[in-house]
Structure 1
Amino acid sequence: MESDEILDADITASATKEGYTATDARLNGIGAWAADDFTIEWIQADIGYQTYVSGVITQGDGNDGSWNSWVESFKVSTFLSTNDTEVFVMNQDGTEIVFPGNTNKNTPVTTIFPAAVHARIVRIICLTAGDDVYVLRFEILGCKM
């Protein structure tokens, strides 16, 4: 994400606030993605090929952003292709993991999955926010195959 290896066209979201697009969600960027409301909102990136993903790094609003907000908790799901079934990152007991997110708008939080997942598309589903809106920047951790 941060290196621009994932193209803007491959970063999408369920909804966005005006001026806070999905393409602004790159880790350490000046801007950020902001959801339109508090319904179930998500943002995702299509890596462009199947690979192993071991985690994500999240941040809140950008340094110059007007929102003092972040995502406090989230789930992660993946897809092997654009037509594939959504698969959540799970605990060993088969339950979907709710990951702790950020506690401020600038400090990156690294989240490592219990096991690497094979995926092409990585989706972050926002559950709770640090202020009045979901605001997020993120990076995907993994390796090229």
Structure 2
Amino acid sequence: MQRTPADGAPRQFIREKKVYFHHCDPAGVVFFAQYLVFMNEIVQEWFEAGLTVDYPELLLERRIGMPTARVECDFLAPSALGDTLRFTLSVQRTGESSCHLLLVGTGPDPSDVRVRIKAILVCASLDSHRPVPLPDDLRTALQDWPATGLST
């Protein structure tokens, strides 16, 4: 789901993820590293459904990756087996070769924030492993996702 509020606020990409047994630690709550797996899945879904950029083609044929160069997570409340988490992705800033994202995961109640993830993706050549400018089609697609400029 993509949402653009009528008041012109930035777009949000929303995905729900169910917590399965393999996501949990022995305490029965989501193991913290699994939130990064959720993030990676949601980013790929956003590329394909939100940006309409063929992610496998970007990597395998064009040899361009979008690795996570920095990630910052705030774990605010536990999530347990059987919970359904609602993740909202928004663009914080777009640079020459980077994209700053904010993902917020909540429980069924939107005010029940479980995790807040800030991530910086850097466009890189998979051959040289060096940053490269965002390709024109990706930059054009990102124009439909105006940056919030927020730091929360």
How would you bin the TM-score normalised by the shorter chain? 0.3 to 0.5
The TM-score normalised by the length of structure 1 is: 0.33
More strand by share: 1
The TM-score normalised by the length of structure 2 is: 0.31
Instruction: Please identify the structure whose Cα radius of gyration is greater.
Output: 2
More helix by share: 2
